[in-house]
Amino acid sequence: MAAKILANLIVMGSGILARAFVQAYRQALTNASKSGVAQETIQNSVRRASKVMTEQEARQILGVTAETPWEEIVKKYDALFERNAQTGSFYLQSKVHRAKERLETLYQSKGQDARS
């Protein structure tokens, strides 16, 4: 008899806790959507998933502006690539190379000579 009452209390208690948890979770989602946290999280996830370098990032890496001619970009690329080859930073060397590739496609689409 005592075991049956104890089992009944455990089942009812866990049901109450489960409902409270679901209600708290729904409230947390509502609060997150109101404050923009959910949207920001989605945008950050999309940004992280995207491996494509932007034009602005490529220009920052190479230290050039939109008005910089292609020949100057190639000179900067060569200097940075060689400097990182000497210091052994493969990561930076890769970033420099990807930046040049990104700007190269941009200059080719504009019809400028972007071959090196």
Using one digit for the tens of pLDDT, what is the confidence trace for 71-100? 999 999 999 988 888 887 788 888 999 999
Give Cα 8 distance to the centre of its chain.
50
- Decide which of 99 and 36 is more confident: 99
The whole-angstrom distance between residue 32's C-alpha and the CA centroid of its chain comes to: 20
Neighbours of 107 (CB within 10 A): 16
Residue 103 contacts residue 73 (beta carbons within 8 Å): yes
DSSP labels, 28-44:
HHHHHHHHTHHHHHHHH
Residue corresponding to tokens 């940075």: 80
- For residue 25, give both structure tokens: 């979770």
**Does 42 score more than 80 pLDDT?**
no
Read off the amino acid at residue 50: S
Query: What pLDDT, on the 0 to 100 scale, is given for residue 7?
Result: 83
For range 58-81, the mean pLDDT:
92
| pLDDT value of residue 60 | 94
pLDDT band at 21 (very low <50, low <70, confident <90, very high): confident
Question: What mean pLDDT do residues 4-31 have?
Answer: 84
State the pLDDT at residue 14.
85
Q: Give the CATH fold of the 53-114 domain.
A: Helix Hairpins (1.10.287)
pLDDT of amino acid 46: 56
Q: How far is CA 51 from the centre of its chain?
A: 8
- CA-based angle 56:51:89, to the nearest 5? 80
Number of residues that make up the chain: 116
What predicted TM-score, i.e. pTM, was given to this entire model?
0.53
pLDDT beyond 70 at 49: no
Q: 64 pLDDT exceeds 70?
A: yes
**Residue 48 corresponds to which tokens in the numbers above?**
């992280």
